[in-house]
Structure 1
Amino acid sequence: MDLKQHYNNLYQESITKYKNDNYDLDKLIDSPADNRFGITLLIRPPQKIKNEIDNFLSNLKKIEPNQYYHPKSDIHITVMSIISCYQGFELSQIETNNYVEMIHQCLSGIPSFSIQFKGLTASPSCVMVQGFLIDNTLKQIRDNLRTNFKSSDLQHSIDKRYAIQTAHSTIFRLRNNLIAKDKFIDLIEQYKNYEFGTFTVDSLDLVFNDWYQRVDKVQKLYEFKLKTQPNNVYTK
C-alpha cells in the first residue's frame, strides 16, 4: 500500500464532505449505555509526540469547542484489534494468559522500529495523524498475528471489519455539527503536512478497552518488549 496516497485520498474525500455538510456525527460517544468492549494490541507514542498533537488540538478546540478531543492519555496506534469492541464483551469470557502467550509467539525475534507522525488525514467523522513506517516490521507483526490467531481456537475478530494496514492515530471526533466550518477546515489544511515527530516503538501494550480507548475504561493486560536496535531514533 502507498500510505501517502491512501492518506491523501481519505483526506480529499473527507474534506469535500465537510465542505458540503455531509460529515458523520458519532451518536454513541456520550451515551452512558455504550457497553462496547474488546481487546487491542496497541502502540503508545512518547510524551513529546503527544504534546505536539495536544498543541494542535488546543488550537482546534478554540474554533470547535463542542467536539470530542482525545486526551494525551488516550492517544494510540492500533496494531491489531484482537477482539473488536462489541456490546457486552467482558474479560471473564476469555483466558487472558492464552492471548499473552500467543502474542509472545507472534513477536518472537521482532526488533524495535520507527514511526514518523507527519501531517493529518481525515474520515467523514474523525481527524487523524498520519503515521508512516520506516520499514516492514509492523506489517510483519500484523501478518504473524493474522496467521497465528486464525489457526487457533481463540476468540478473535481479526480482519472481520477491515484489514488494518495504516499507522494512523485518531485524535478528534465529530460529536456535534460544525459551528465554524471554514476556520475548522483552514486549520486542518495548515497542519496537513506538519511534522509531529519520529519515534521508536520498543514496546506494545495489550489492553482491554472501550471503543474510544478512554483511560478510565482501559485495563492494561500486558506490556510486550521488543528487541532494541541501537540505531533507531527515540523521542522521549
Structure 2
Amino acid sequence: MTSDPAAFLARLHDYRRAGAQALRDSGADPDPILAEEVRAPGADQRYGVNLIACPPLPVVEAIAAIQARLSALEPGQYYYPASDLHLTLVEVCSSQGRDAVEQLAAAISQIVPDLVAEAPQAVLARPLLGYDRRACALNFVPADHGLQTLRAHLVAQLAGEGIAIAPRYPAQSAHVTLMRYLRPLTADRAGWVSVLESISAPALEWRIDSLWLTWGATWYGRTGRVQMRGPYALGGTPLSG
C-alpha cells in the first residue's frame, strides 16, 4: 500500500476506469453466496476475524445519499445497512471454521488493549466512489502515511503475540463497501456506468481514532452474523461519550 496520496489517487482512478469498462462490456457479476445468505440467513459459513473502523455519521450520511441514487435505478441489488458499514484495517483470517475463529477471537480480545496502546491514528480524505463488476464502495485517500503505519503497527503487534495474519489479499485500499450485486443489471449498462461516473461525494475528512474487533461470518459484515467488541481508542486516549 502506497503512502503517497497522489499515487494512491491515481491508482484509484485507474481502478474506476477499469471497472467502468468491465461493466460496459460484461455487466455485473452477481455474488451467489450473498444471494443465498440474504435468502436464508446463516447460509454463509465462511468465518473470520477482523479489526475494523466504523465510519462517523458524516460518512454514513454520504453513503446513504449514494445508495439512494443507485437504488432508484437498481433496487434489486444489496445495499449495506448503516449498521454494517465498515473499513477493514486488518483481516486476521478468513474462511475458517467457527470453532477456530472463536478461539482466535478470544485470544485477540485479551490483547487488544495492548495492540492499540501505542497505535497511531489515521486521517482519510477525498472520498471517491469506486466500482467494479462485483460491488461499489466509497474509497478514501489517506492524508499521509498514517493508515499504512497503523496497519503495519497492528500486524506487528499481533505477530509479537504469536498471531500471524492470513488475509484473502494484502490491504491496498481504504474503502467502505456500500453495495454488492445480487443479480444482473436491469438498467442499461452504459446508463448505469454513466450514473456511477457522475456521482461525487462531499468533501469529508475521517479521523480513524478507534477500532473494533469483529468475528463470525464477517465477509459482508452483516450485524446479525458478527460479534463485535469495542470501540478501542487508538493511542490509549479515552473515547468521549
TM-score interval w.r.t. the shorter chain? 0.7 to 0.9
Q: 1:109 to 1:150 in 2, by over 3 A?
A: closer
Give distance in 2, aligned partners of 1:150 and 1:10.
Answer: 31
Give distance in 1, aligned partners of 2:105 and 2:78.
Answer: 31
Contact map agreement 2:123 2:147 (CA 8 A) in 1: no
Percentage of matched positions with identical amino acids: 22
2:227 is aligned with 1:222: no
Which runs of no fewer than 5 residues in structure 2 stay unpaired?
none
2:120 is aligned with 1:114: no
Give distance in 2, aligned partners of 1:187 and 1:76.
Answer: 24
The structure that is helix-richer by fraction is 2
Partner of 1:76: 86
Partner letter of residue 218 of structure 1? V
Match of 2:23 among 18, 26, 44: 18
Which runs of no fewer than 5 residues in structure 1 stay unpaired?
230-236
SS at match of 2:123: strand
Partner of 2:174: 167
The root-mean-square deviation of aligned C-alpha atoms, in Å, is 2.3
Shift of 1:30: 2.3
SS at match of 2:67: helix
Shift of 1:87: 5.2
Q: 1:195 to 1:90 in 2, by over 3 A?
A: farther
Mapping of residues 26-41 of structure 1, within 5 Å:
26-31=31-36, 32=40, 33-41=43-51
Give distance in 2, aligned partners of 1:222 and 1:12.
Answer: 37
Shift of 1:16: 0.6
Mapping of residues 34-53 of structure 1, within 5 Å:
34-53=44-63
Moved more, 36-45 or 110-119: 110-119
Q: 1:23 to 1:95 in 2, by over 3 A?
A: closer
2:141 is aligned with 1:132: yes
Partner letter of residue 108 of structure 1? A
Mapping of residues 75-94 of structure 1, within 5 Å:
75-84=85-94, 86=95, 88-90=97-99, 93-94=102-103
Give distance in 2, aligned partners of 1:22 and 1:217.
Answer: 30
TM-score (norm. length: structure 2):
0.83
Contact map agreement 2:53 2:208 (CA 8 A) in 1: yes
Shift of 1:101: 4.2
Aligned pairs, number: 225
Contact map agreement 2:49 2:101 (CA 8 A) in 1: no
TM-score (norm. length: structure 1):
0.85
Give distance in 1, aligned partners of 2:99 and 2:86.
Answer: 22
